[in-house]
Structure 1
């Protein structure tokens, strides 16, 4: 009897140039192999077309000269990239594909199980890029006219996709370091393995949240579900509508999770999900949840996360009433600043994973990918 090898799960690392995608991908591959698994790495950079095949864009300040526009899909051999990915899925246990435009290539995204999108600030990106050598080399003005505007377009497209696609995870990697360090790599892995963040236009599913919160070492799960109620100040409410400034909201949500963990270090899992767009009466607009060995930490962590969410995250709501009127509502917390931090007294001490922590969190990420493949 012959057995057919299942196709490997594919993790896509996407983001701006110099955000550390290649460094992180290589580190992940090396660590996966140390865990006894095989891993293949596919680099988008290997499939760029030759210079004469790439679009030339006139320079703003010197129209008689031009830039090669490498930051658009037309500069890639998409067929070659897809072929290499298909072959790698059949041979390896895991595949990591990295590149700044992966999330916008339909043929590739059909094969991807999870996307980690690295956001970065302009200062970090510019500093790192100036220290690298490119072929063809960067010339004056290329970063400002081509590289940075292309990144802004890519990140907006990705965040727009993420509102309908649960595969996306966003992590900000802005740093004073000239390149991603191993410590930063595994901080990223730990963050995405423990904290589940999303801004979505889809219905929030409690069952999906519960699957993420079930952990053998956690005896307490606390969940807050915020729903649309049908009245406000005597007026009949038909629905709420939420708007989010995603480019700022995602980094702030990561900081929120870090703040909660600093106060309640025993919390093993955090979920912060927010719905945007129209949310009818009785439907959930937000789910915040925590899993911990102890109930007090889980309950207080959720309470702190709710307060922090209202105080610091740029998400706004509009109430629509039965009389045809509507009103944009401002969180009271925005007026008075951040809420007071919950007291950390009498909080249980966090027990670190046994052995090498970086392997522990990578194993968590691998298990998530395997579950995605099974589902």
Structure 2
């Protein structure tokens, strides 16, 4: 599948890559299985979750929104860049959740399968750092304000 957007580079997904935006809860086990391969010596999995605090405030929950077609195109570009830099990578898996998430729920899972751990770690870190800078994904934080009132504010994830 190819997504073409004005000003965006069109990229085809590698058949071993799994790039998903969903409202459903994310599964560490599923993402791990999608990155698994007999050629791998390592699978590095990064799990981002909703924490109970942000900038000194007590967080109640988050809401994520994404411009899905462009976000998936960005995920594909990240996977392609990983494959150009770390040519032994066997699988790139990026799953991001949207909608309301409670404290402790997983918002993003990234897994990279590779014959060697160093490259798997580097590629996984590149994926999350780049996703946070490029993907059109926003979160709205709901938190207690200084006087105990419930407040909210939108934050671009990058």
Matched, 1:119 2:3: yes
2:51 counterpart residue number: 229
Matched, 1:262 2:84: yes
1:325 counterpart residue number: 151
Which of 1 and 2 has higher RCO (CA within 8 Å, sep 6+)?
A: 2
Post-superposition offset of 1:120: 4.0
Unaligned runs of 5+ in 2: none
- Equivalent residues of 2:137, 2:156 under 8 A apart: no
2:127 counterpart residue number: 305
- Aligned partners of 1:278 and 1:321: how far apart in 2? 14
CA change 1:220–1:247 in 2 (3 A) is: same
**Structure with greater helix percent:** 1
1:299-337 residue CA offsets vs partner (Å, 9 max, x unmatched) = 000000011101111001111114310111234xx5xxx
Post-superposition offset of 1:194: 1.7
- Aligned partners of 2:127 and 2:23: how far apart in 1? 21
Q: What SS does the corresponding residue of 2:15 show, helix, strand or coil? A: helix
Post-superposition offset of 1:279: 1.1
Post-superposition offset of 1:192: 4.0
Unaligned runs of 5+ in 1: 1-116, 123-171, 175-186, 335-375
CA change 1:325–1:193 in 2 (3 A) is: same
Post-superposition offset of 1:118: 4.4
* Matches for 1:1-375 after TM superposition, within 5 Å: 117-120=1-4, 188=12, 191-322=13-144, 323-331=149-157, 334=158
CA change 1:192–1:264 in 2 (3 A) is: closer
Q: What SS does the corresponding residue of 1:282 show, helix, strand or coil? A: coil
> Aligned pair count?
153
- Aligned partners of 2:39 and 2:32: how far apart in 1? 15
Query: After the TM superposition, which parts of structure 1 deviate over 6 Å for at least 4 consecutive aligned residues?
Result: none
Q: What SS does the corresponding residue of 1:193 show, helix, strand or coil? A: coil
C-alpha RMSD of the superposition = 2.1
Q: What SS does the corresponding residue of 1:209 show, helix, strand or coil? A: helix
Q: What SS does the corresponding residue of 2:25 show, helix, strand or coil? A: coil
Q: What SS does the corresponding residue of 1:198 show, helix, strand or coil? A: strand
- Equivalent residues of 1:227, 1:283 under 8 A apart: yes
Relative to the length of structure 2, the TM-score reads 0.88
Q: What SS does the corresponding residue of 1:194 show, helix, strand or coil? A: coil
- Aligned partners of 1:304 and 1:121: how far apart in 2? 23
Post-superposition offset of 1:248: 1.3
1:152-202 residue CA offsets vs partner (Å, 9 max, x unmatched) = xxxxxxxxxxxxxxxxxxxx995xxxxxxxxxxxx95xx342211000000
Relative to the length of structure 1, the TM-score reads 0.39
- Equivalent residues of 2:36, 2:91 under 8 A apart: no
**Structure with greater strand percent:** 2
- Equivalent residues of 1:118, 1:173 under 8 A apart: no
